[in-house]
Amino acid sequence: MLNDTYRHKGLRKQLAALLKEKGIESAEVLKAIETVPRHLFLNSSFIERAYQDIAFPIGAGQTISRPHTVAFQTELLELKRGDKVLEIGTGSGYQTCVLLEMGVKVFTIERQKELFDKTKIFLPSIGYDTKFFYGDGYKGLPVFAPYDKIIITAGAPSIPEALLEQLKIGGRMVIPLGDKVQIMTLIEKTAGRQFEKTEYGEFKFVPLLENKEWGD
Protein backbone atom coordinates (compact mmCIF):
# COMPACT_ATOMS: atom_id res chain seq x y z
CA MET A 1 0.00 0.00 0.00
CA LEU A 2 0.99 3.59 -0.74
CA ASN A 3 3.69 4.73 1.68
CA ASP A 4 2.76 2.28 4.45
CA THR A 5 5.92 1.06 6.14
CA TYR A 6 6.82 -1.49 8.81
CA ARG A 7 7.23 1.44 11.13
CA HIS A 8 3.63 2.51 10.51
CA LYS A 9 2.47 -1.06 11.02
CA GLY A 10 4.38 -1.22 14.30
CA LEU A 11 2.77 2.03 15.47
CA ARG A 12 -0.67 0.61 14.61
CA LYS A 13 0.01 -2.48 16.69
CA GLN A 14 0.90 -0.22 19.61
CA LEU A 15 -2.27 1.81 19.07
CA ALA A 16 -4.41 -1.35 19.06
CA ALA A 17 -2.70 -2.45 22.30
CA LEU A 18 -3.43 0.96 23.85
CA LEU A 19 -7.12 0.76 22.84
CA LYS A 20 -7.29 -2.71 24.39
CA GLU A 21 -5.94 -1.25 27.63
CA LYS A 22 -8.60 1.46 27.39
CA GLY A 23 -11.29 -1.21 27.33
CA ILE A 24 -11.91 -2.17 23.68
CA GLU A 25 -12.50 -5.93 23.77
CA SER A 26 -13.50 -6.97 20.25
CA ALA A 27 -10.60 -8.71 18.49
CA GLU A 28 -12.14 -7.83 15.11
CA VAL A 29 -12.30 -4.12 15.97
CA LEU A 30 -8.70 -4.12 17.22
CA LYS A 31 -7.64 -5.93 14.04
CA ALA A 32 -9.39 -3.28 11.90
CA ILE A 33 -7.55 -0.50 13.79
CA GLU A 34 -4.31 -2.41 13.18
CA THR A 35 -5.08 -2.60 9.46
CA VAL A 36 -6.34 0.85 8.38
CA PRO A 37 -3.39 3.19 7.63
CA ARG A 38 -4.57 6.23 9.63
CA HIS A 39 -1.49 8.30 8.74
CA LEU A 40 -2.73 8.52 5.14
CA PHE A 41 -5.89 10.34 6.33
CA LEU A 42 -4.08 13.25 7.92
CA ASN A 43 -2.28 16.28 6.56
CA SER A 44 1.39 15.45 6.23
CA SER A 45 2.35 17.72 9.14
CA PHE A 46 0.50 15.38 11.52
CA ILE A 47 1.87 12.07 10.25
CA GLU A 48 4.23 11.52 13.19
CA ARG A 49 1.27 11.68 15.55
CA ALA A 50 -1.21 9.71 13.46
CA TYR A 51 -1.12 6.72 15.78
CA GLN A 52 -1.63 8.55 19.04
CA ASP A 53 -5.11 8.48 20.48
CA ILE A 54 -6.02 12.02 19.46
CA ALA A 55 -8.44 13.81 17.09
CA PHE A 56 -7.21 15.94 14.16
CA PRO A 57 -8.53 18.64 11.83
CA ILE A 58 -9.46 17.26 8.38
CA GLY A 59 -10.52 20.54 6.71
CA ALA A 60 -13.87 22.31 6.40
CA GLY A 61 -13.77 22.82 10.20
CA GLN A 62 -14.24 19.08 10.82
CA THR A 63 -12.17 16.49 12.68
CA ILE A 64 -11.23 12.84 12.35
CA SER A 65 -12.33 11.28 15.65
CA ARG A 66 -9.91 9.80 18.19
CA PRO A 67 -9.13 6.14 17.46
CA HIS A 68 -10.66 5.21 20.81
CA THR A 69 -13.95 6.87 19.83
CA VAL A 70 -13.94 5.11 16.44
CA ALA A 71 -13.23 1.75 18.08
CA PHE A 72 -15.84 2.35 20.82
CA GLN A 73 -18.62 3.18 18.36
CA THR A 74 -17.66 0.30 16.07
CA GLU A 75 -17.66 -2.17 18.97
CA LEU A 76 -21.08 -0.99 20.17
CA LEU A 77 -22.57 -1.72 16.74
CA GLU A 78 -21.84 -5.47 17.18
CA LEU A 79 -21.27 -5.85 13.44
CA LYS A 80 -21.76 -9.13 11.63
CA ARG A 81 -20.20 -9.83 8.23
CA GLY A 82 -22.59 -8.75 5.49
CA ASP A 83 -24.48 -6.24 7.68
CA LYS A 84 -25.86 -3.23 5.84
CA VAL A 85 -24.57 -0.14 7.65
CA LEU A 86 -25.58 3.51 7.27
CA GLU A 87 -22.91 5.99 8.35
CA ILE A 88 -23.73 9.67 8.91
CA GLY A 89 -20.68 11.95 8.62
CA THR A 90 -18.14 10.44 6.20
CA GLY A 91 -15.53 13.10 7.01
CA SER A 92 -12.05 11.77 6.21
CA GLY A 93 -13.45 8.27 5.64
CA TYR A 94 -11.32 6.71 8.40
CA GLN A 95 -14.32 5.35 10.30
CA THR A 96 -15.74 4.14 6.97
CA CYS A 97 -12.59 2.06 6.37
CA VAL A 98 -12.72 0.58 9.87
CA LEU A 99 -16.32 -0.49 9.13
CA LEU A 100 -15.31 -1.94 5.75
CA GLU A 101 -12.55 -3.95 7.43
CA MET A 102 -15.29 -5.58 9.51
CA GLY A 103 -16.77 -7.07 6.34
CA VAL A 104 -19.94 -4.98 6.19
CA LYS A 105 -21.60 -2.97 3.39
CA VAL A 106 -21.38 0.76 4.07
CA PHE A 107 -23.60 3.57 2.79
CA THR A 108 -22.01 6.82 3.95
CA ILE A 109 -23.39 10.38 3.85
CA GLU A 110 -21.48 13.68 4.11
CA ARG A 111 -22.95 17.18 3.95
CA GLN A 112 -19.70 19.09 3.31
CA LYS A 113 -19.14 19.05 -0.44
CA GLU A 114 -15.38 19.55 -0.06
CA LEU A 115 -15.00 16.48 2.18
CA PHE A 116 -17.41 14.39 0.12
CA ASP A 117 -15.47 15.12 -3.09
CA LYS A 118 -12.12 14.42 -1.49
CA THR A 119 -13.03 11.22 0.36
CA LYS A 120 -14.95 9.53 -2.46
CA ILE A 121 -11.75 9.71 -4.53
CA PHE A 122 -9.26 9.09 -1.72
CA LEU A 123 -10.78 5.89 -0.29
CA PRO A 124 -10.76 3.92 -3.57
CA SER A 125 -7.20 5.18 -4.16
CA ILE A 126 -6.05 3.28 -1.05
CA GLY A 127 -8.14 0.21 -1.78
CA TYR A 128 -11.43 0.92 0.03
CA ASP A 129 -14.55 1.40 -2.05
CA THR A 130 -18.12 1.88 -0.95
CA LYS A 131 -21.28 3.92 -1.62
CA PHE A 132 -20.71 7.65 -1.02
CA PHE A 133 -23.58 10.12 -0.82
CA TYR A 134 -23.62 13.91 -0.64
CA GLY A 135 -26.58 15.00 1.43
CA ASP A 136 -28.20 15.59 4.79
CA GLY A 137 -27.74 12.74 7.26
CA TYR A 138 -30.81 13.86 9.22
CA LYS A 139 -32.87 12.41 6.39
CA GLY A 140 -30.85 9.20 6.17
CA LEU A 141 -31.01 7.29 2.91
CA PRO A 142 -34.51 5.83 2.56
CA VAL A 143 -33.85 4.25 -0.87
CA PHE A 144 -31.57 1.60 0.61
CA ALA A 145 -33.35 1.21 3.98
CA PRO A 146 -33.73 -0.68 6.24
CA TYR A 147 -30.24 -0.92 7.76
CA ASP A 148 -28.91 -3.48 10.24
CA LYS A 149 -26.80 -0.82 11.88
CA ILE A 150 -26.61 3.00 11.84
CA ILE A 151 -23.63 5.02 13.08
CA ILE A 152 -23.65 8.80 13.53
CA THR A 153 -20.19 10.35 13.82
CA ALA A 154 -21.23 13.91 14.73
CA GLY A 155 -22.90 15.23 17.89
CA ALA A 156 -26.67 15.22 17.46
CA PRO A 157 -28.97 17.44 19.57
CA SER A 158 -31.68 14.76 19.23
CA ILE A 159 -32.26 11.46 17.46
CA PRO A 160 -33.29 12.08 13.84
CA GLU A 161 -36.72 10.50 13.34
CA ALA A 162 -35.92 9.34 9.79
CA LEU A 163 -32.99 7.29 11.10
CA LEU A 164 -35.18 5.48 13.64
CA GLU A 165 -37.53 4.56 10.79
CA GLN A 166 -34.69 3.31 8.58
CA LEU A 167 -33.32 0.95 11.26
CA LYS A 168 -34.26 -2.74 10.97
CA ILE A 169 -36.15 -4.38 13.79
CA GLY A 170 -33.39 -5.95 15.88
CA GLY A 171 -31.00 -3.30 14.54
CA ARG A 172 -28.61 -1.08 16.49
CA MET A 173 -27.90 2.63 16.17
CA VAL A 174 -24.94 4.33 17.87
CA ILE A 175 -25.32 8.08 18.24
CA PRO A 176 -23.52 10.73 20.32
CA LEU A 177 -26.35 12.83 21.79
CA GLY A 178 -26.02 16.35 23.15
CA ASP A 179 -24.90 19.91 22.39
CA LYS A 180 -21.60 20.83 24.05
CA VAL A 181 -20.62 17.34 25.15
CA GLN A 182 -22.31 14.20 23.94
CA ILE A 183 -23.46 11.04 25.66
CA MET A 184 -22.66 8.00 23.54
CA THR A 185 -26.03 6.35 23.13
CA LEU A 186 -27.04 2.94 21.85
CA ILE A 187 -30.56 2.62 20.45
CA GLU A 188 -31.89 -0.89 19.84
CA LYS A 189 -35.06 -1.27 17.80
CA THR A 190 -37.04 -4.03 19.51
CA ALA A 191 -40.29 -3.71 17.51
CA GLY A 192 -41.93 -1.38 14.99
CA ARG A 193 -42.07 1.69 17.24
CA GLN A 194 -40.23 0.32 20.26
CA PHE A 195 -36.69 1.23 21.20
CA GLU A 196 -34.32 0.52 24.06
CA LYS A 197 -31.78 3.15 24.97
CA THR A 198 -28.45 2.59 26.77
CA GLU A 199 -25.97 5.36 27.62
CA TYR A 200 -22.18 4.96 27.61
CA GLY A 201 -20.59 8.12 28.99
CA GLU A 202 -19.30 11.40 27.61
CA PHE A 203 -17.55 12.01 24.29
CA LYS A 204 -16.78 15.12 22.29
CA PHE A 205 -17.86 15.55 18.63
CA VAL A 206 -18.28 18.27 16.04
CA PRO A 207 -22.01 19.03 15.61
CA LEU A 208 -24.43 17.24 13.32
CA LEU A 209 -25.81 20.19 11.37
CA GLU A 210 -29.28 20.52 9.94
CA ASN A 211 -30.14 21.46 6.42
CA LYS A 212 -31.20 24.99 7.33
CA GLU A 213 -27.67 25.73 8.55
CA TRP A 214 -26.03 24.74 5.26
CA GLY A 215 -23.87 27.32 3.63
CA ASP A 216 -21.43 27.65 6.55
Query: Site for ligand SAH (CB under 6 A): how many residues?
Result: 24
DSSP 59-95: ETTEEEPPHHHHHHHHHHHT--TT-EEEEE--TTSHH
The active-site residue out of 26, 44, 65, 92 is 65
Q: Does 11 bind ligand SAH (CB under 6 A)?
A: no
Let me know if 65 is a catalytic residue: yes
- Per DSSP, the three-state class of 152 is strand
CB contact at 8 A, 103 and 77: no
Site string for ligand SAH, 47-86 (x = CB under 6 A): -----------x---xxxx---------------------
CB of 190 to ligand SAH, least distance (A): 26
CB contact at 8 A, 117 and 138: no
Q: Does 42 bind ligand SAH (CB under 6 A)?
A: no
- Other C-beta atoms lying within 10 Å of the C-beta of residue 52: 15
Beta-sheet pairing, 147-152 with 105-110: unpaired
Q: Which of 72, 94, 107, 132 binds ligand SAH (CB under 6 A)?
A: 94
Cα–Cα distance between 98 and 100 in angstroms, integer? 5
Residue 194's DSSP bridge partners are 191
Q: Does 206 bind ligand SAH (CB under 6 A)?
A: yes
Instruction: Give the H or E element holding residue 116.
Output: helix 113-125
CB of 192 to ligand SAH, least distance (A): 25
Q: Which of 37, 89, 140, 178 binds ligand SAH (CB under 6 A)?
A: 89
CB of 91 to ligand SAH, least distance (A): 3
Residues in the chain: 216
Give 30 or 123: the residue with its C-beta nearer to ligand SAH: 123
Q: Cite the active site residues.
A: 65
By the criterion CB under 6 A, which residues form the site for ligand SAH?
58, 62-65, 88-89, 91-92, 94-95, 109-112, 115, 136-138, 153-154, 206, 208-209
